[in-house]
Structure 1
Amino acid sequence: MKAPRPAARRTLLTALLLALLGHVAVLGFLRILLQPPTLLRELAQPMYTRTLQAEAPPGPVAVAPAPVKVSTPNRPTAVVRSAQPATKTRAKPTPKPAKRPARAASASADDDAVADPASPAVSAPSDAPPPDADTATATATAQQNAPLEPQSPASAAQAAASAPDVPPSDAAPGDAGTQVASAASAPASEASAPADAEPAFLKTWPRDTRLRYHLSGNYRGELHGDAQVLWQREGTRYQTVVQMDVGILLSSRFTSQGAITDQGLKPEVYEEQVRKKRRGVRIGEDVRLNNGTRVPRPNEVQDAASQFVELGHRFATGQLQLTPGGQVNFWLARPGGVDEWTYDVVGEETLHLPRLGPVQAVHLKPRPLNKPRGPIMAEIWFAPSLQYLPVRIRITQGADTFVDLMVDTIDQR
């Protein structure tokens, strides 16, 4: 039997190699198709309108003292007194020692009643003797000095509506009708506030933010690429994405979605995609790992993507202090398990960023876990002058494998 010729041998080897590559491609395609569907919800891409520059971190907010109301005995406060419409009064005649006729005394009492509209009308029975001038004057003076009863906004507004119109030239500053109308309309405007207004605690969170990084590192040689951290919120819902682009073999994307509460971020879904492989974790009443195992859910647990935003928010709001030599503890959920991490506060360092120049940042370094699930660790630098955002992230996987992310630009909506 003759041996195959060299040309036929090469053709056979080429056919075997092509068949093997075809099987590998088919198996890879089937693995992608057989992956469980993603649990993430697609969000619309925001439009960024400004680029951040380093600035002094905000200090404590000064609160002005409340004004003190001063009241005089036997005299109503200015607010209550202004409820009466301003009118012109007649000058009361000076009583004489001699007794006046009954008709003059009655007229004087009527004039005093007109001078103060808040005084009730006093009328004597037709068969009663008319009072003398001294008695009428004393009665009118007592009625003017008597404290006024506070009026409700409804009754005050009704009184202002029924008061006679006063020309603008004759109206006194701070006209009572205007003050009463403003006081009556204030509760109505408060009641008409939208019921679906955003909670106050949302104001402490940054707007939609995109941090672009220059990526360098080493993995079987030098690495160069781009990375970004995205923070986005819609009402009380949020999404955080950490994405690194270093060619086809090392590109990865880590995504966290959940709710923003007054206690901080509450992750619900976390997924990571390295190359074409996708893994995830569900966080609800418990934590469901990628293999289906359920473990207890620790309080304030975070994931590998939400930790960057949650830690920055705690530092910015003073919940955690960045004291050199201190430490930060929190639970972290990943597809393989849930662990408690400890970050040591190394201290403040000066970073020379490509576009932002020298920036002071606080360095946090994690301690190795007692039962590590892998050699991956992430050191973080937070900049107080840039809203405590993570301006540098260094991810290591052994001594010779690492990526270093230095922020290039920071955009916000």
Structure 2
Amino acid sequence: MARTLTPPSRPAVRRALLAALGIALLAHAAVLGWVSVLLQPPSLLRELAQPMYTRTLQAKAPAPTPDAVATQVAANSAPNRPSAHILPAPAAIKNKANNHPKPAPKPARAASAAAEDQAPTVTDTGTGTAQAGAPDATAPADSATRGSDSPDAAAQIAAAQQAAASAPAQAASAAASAPSVAATSAPEPTASAPAVAASGAVPAFVQTWPGDTRLSYQLSGNYRGELHGSAQVLWQREGTRYQAVVQMDLGILLSSRFTSQGAITEQGLQPEVYEEQVRQRRRGVRIGEDVRLNNGNRVPRPNAVQDAASQFVELGHRFATGQVPLRPGGQVNFWLARPGGVDEWTYDILGEETLQLPTLGAVQAVHLRPRQLAKPRGSIVAEIWFAPSLQYLPVRIRITQGEDSYVDLLVQTIDQR
């Protein structure tokens, strides 16, 4: 007996058609995405070898800034300091001398006294310098000793005169060492830095910048729900060339990478190429004699312009070297180049706060917040916290977009080469 086939119902046919349509649309979207990636211009970034990190930073007291060093040097070199220029009173010396027997004169001492009578006199001008031709800072002490026959009195006068003579030298030595002390507030150079600098291959100012550094962050936030992920700020330098990278990974939701490459100069970082990679979309800026935006338009290049990735390292270096004091109520101004345009940014220094970091614990950091632009290109704002005890590196970054959307980065580990 022949079996009769019943035609499928209309709802089933409709579901099948919708499924086929969805698959076709996904296939077309994948093809279009692949084509758009192929049609993108090639990246202008230069590939750098991955560094080998050898140590992990721990929080420690920062070295004195240049302002603090200058204040200390001025205090040490101030005139009329008690302890270095005050001699014992003659009556006190005489009374003490009378309490001890008078030693027998020695021929050698007499000959030395005769020779010193012919020596020129050292004049203290109050500025810590002696007149030309002065043979020794101990000559006045020997002359005073001949006025008193007591060895104890002579020792007192000699000690006082020696302290007075050495005080200006100590102040001068402190002043001469001030630049080197200030340089230690900057991030520590790599182990090979002294040899490289001595050979002349790398300018000395490059050594004030950190060696290869990787800051790993714990990422949390909110965007239509809770966000969790990881982020990194990477810094590398090869000679006078640098690369700064900020990258965030939120799994299948979002991955982004912002890269800056350029030169290290005596005036600071000089970005040349900046690229943003968000999912499969890439945009960039070229910075040369002018600034070439992503759409091809060219605009004048401001002095000391930075980009969205280089700013984190540039600001930390300015603070570490004392170019900009981290004082509450102060501000930092600089131009920022992004794919859509160039704007002048102002960061207000709000003050010091105690952060509870995931692995480093309680760390003091200075909070910077940018002001709103007169003509904003978007609603994204990035606040930064720099930690003086961790080489002035950015230990927290909070990026907000509106009231309910934000990403908060708290540093977990800091590795250096």
Which interval holds the TM-score relative to the shorter structure? 0.5 to 0.7
Structure 1 residue runs of 5 or longer lacking an equivalent are 74-192
TM-superposed deviation, 1:68:
8.6
Residue among 354, 358, 362 paired with 1:350: 354
Residue equivalent to 1:30: 35
Residue equivalent to 1:80: none
Residue equivalent to 2:287: 283
Give the 3 Å change call, closer, same or farther, for CA 22–284 of structure 1 in structure 2: same
Residue among 376, 400, 408 paired with 1:404: 408
Judge conservation of contact 1:314–1:320 (CA < 8 Å) in 2: yes
- Look up the equivalent residue of 2:33 and give its one-letter code: G
The answer to whether 1:386 aligns with 2:387 is no
Residue equivalent to 1:53: 58
- Look up the equivalent residue of 2:57 and give its one-letter code: L
- Look up the equivalent residue of 1:329 and give its one-letter code: N
TM-superposed deviation, 1:71:
6.2
TM-superposed deviation, 1:279:
0.4
TM-superposed deviation, 1:202:
1.0
Residue equivalent to 1:295: 299
- Look up the equivalent residue of 1:363 and give its one-letter code: H
Distance in 2 of aligned mates of 1:41 and 1:248: 27
Residue among 359, 373, 378 paired with 1:369: 373
Residue equivalent to 1:157: none
TM-superposed deviation, 1:15:
2.1
- Look up the equivalent residue of 1:248 and give its one-letter code: I
Judge conservation of contact 1:249–1:275 (CA < 8 Å) in 2: no
Distance in 2 of aligned mates of 1:248 and 1:286: 37
Residue among 252, 256, 263 paired with 2:256: 252
Distance in 2 of aligned mates of 1:67 and 1:238: 45
Give the 3 Å change call, closer, same or farther, for CA 37–68 of structure 1 in structure 2: farther
Give the 3 Å change call, closer, same or farther, for CA 334–16 of structure 1 in structure 2: same
Pairs within 5 Å for 1:1-400: 5-6=9-10, 7-59=12-64, 196-400=200-404
RMSD, aligned CA: 2.4
Give the 3 Å change call, closer, same or farther, for CA 401–68 of structure 1 in structure 2: same
Distance in 2 of aligned mates of 1:352 and 1:301: 33
- Look up the equivalent residue of 1:41 and give its one-letter code: R
Give the 3 Å change call, closer, same or farther, for CA 256–3 of structure 1 in structure 2: same
TM-superposed deviation, 1:14:
2.4
Greater helix content: 2
1:284-313 deviation line (CA, Å, top 9, x unaligned): 000000000000000000000000000000
Report the 3-state secondary structure (helix = DSSP H, G, I; strand = E; otherwise coil) of the residue aligned with 2:253: helix
Report the 3-state secondary structure (helix = DSSP H, G, I; strand = E; otherwise coil) of the residue aligned with 1:291: coil
- Look up the equivalent residue of 2:207 and give its one-letter code: K
Distance in 2 of aligned mates of 1:256 and 1:46: 17
Distance in 2 of aligned mates of 1:411 and 1:11: 55
TM-superposed deviation, 1:248:
2.4
Distance in 2 of aligned mates of 1:260 and 1:69: 45
Distance in 2 of aligned mates of 1:380 and 1:356: 18
Distance in 1 of aligned mates of 2:363 and 2:220: 19
Judge conservation of contact 1:248–1:275 (CA < 8 Å) in 2: no
1:170-215 deviation line (CA, Å, top 9, x unaligned): xxxxxxxxxxxxxxxxxxxxxxx97643111011111110000000
Structure 2 residue runs of 5 or longer lacking an equivalent are 1-5, 78-127, 136-196
Distance in 1 of aligned mates of 2:131 and 2:237: 44
Report the 3-state secondary structure (helix = DSSP H, G, I; strand = E; otherwise coil) of the residue aligned with 2:32: helix
Distance in 2 of aligned mates of 1:57 and 1:194: 26
TM-superposed deviation, 1:69:
11
TM-superposed deviation, 1:396:
0.4
Residue equivalent to 2:145: none
Distance in 2 of aligned mates of 1:393 and 1:334: 19
Distance in 1 of aligned mates of 2:130 and 2:232: 53
Residue equivalent to 1:109: none
- Look up the equivalent residue of 2:236 and give its one-letter code: Q
Larger radius of gyration: 1
- Look up the equivalent residue of 2:398 and give its one-letter code: R
Report the 3-state secondary structure (helix = DSSP H, G, I; strand = E; otherwise coil) of the residue aligned with 2:51: coil
TM-superposed deviation, 1:250:
1.7
Report the 3-state secondary structure (helix = DSSP H, G, I; strand = E; otherwise coil) of the residue aligned with 2:28: helix
Report the 3-state secondary structure (helix = DSSP H, G, I; strand = E; otherwise coil) of the residue aligned with 1:332: strand
Compare 54-63 and 376-385 and name the one that shifted more: 54-63
Identity %, equivalent residues? 78
- Look up the equivalent residue of 2:257 and give its one-letter code: R
Distance in 1 of aligned mates of 2:204 and 2:218: 35
1:49-83 deviation line (CA, Å, top 9, x unaligned): 0000111111156999999999678xxxxxxxxxx
Q: TM-score, normalised by structure 1?
A: 0.67
- Look up the equivalent residue of 1:226 and give its one-letter code: S
TM-superposed deviation, 1:16:
2.1
Report the 3-state secondary structure (helix = DSSP H, G, I; strand = E; otherwise coil) of the residue aligned with 1:378: strand
- Look up the equivalent residue of 1:338 and give its one-letter code: V
Report the 3-state secondary structure (helix = DSSP H, G, I; strand = E; otherwise coil) of the residue aligned with 1:247: coil
